[in-house]
Amino acid sequence: MSSVEACSSALVVDLTVDELAVMTPPIETPNNSPAFRRSAHPPLNERILSSMSRKAVAAHPWHDLEIGPGAPKIFNCVVEISKGSKVKYELDKSTGLIKVDRVLYSSVVYPHNYGFIPRTLCEDNDPLDVLVIMQEPVIPGCFLRAKAIGLMPMIDQGEKDDKIIAVCADDPEYRHYTDIKEFPPHRLAEIRRFFEDYKKNENKDVAVDEILPATKAYEAIQGSILHSGELEAVVCSLAWTKWSVQNQPGSFGRMKIETYEHSLRDPTFPWRPTSAVYICPALCSITNVKFS
Catalytic positions, please?
110
Amino acid 179 reads D
Q: Using an 8 Å Cβ cutoff, are 245 and 289 in contact?
A: yes
Instruction: Please give the Cα distance from 166 to 78 (Å, whole number).
Output: 13
Our CA dihedral for 175, 176, 178, 184, rounded to 10 degrees, sits at -100
Burial of 165 (0-12, 13-18, 19+ CB in 10 A): buried
Where do the H-state alpha helices sit in the chain? 3-14, 17-23, 44-53, 185-197, 214-224
Question: HEC profile for 170-215?
Answer: CCCCCCCCCCHHHCCHHHHHHHHHHHHHCCHHHCCCEEECCCECHH
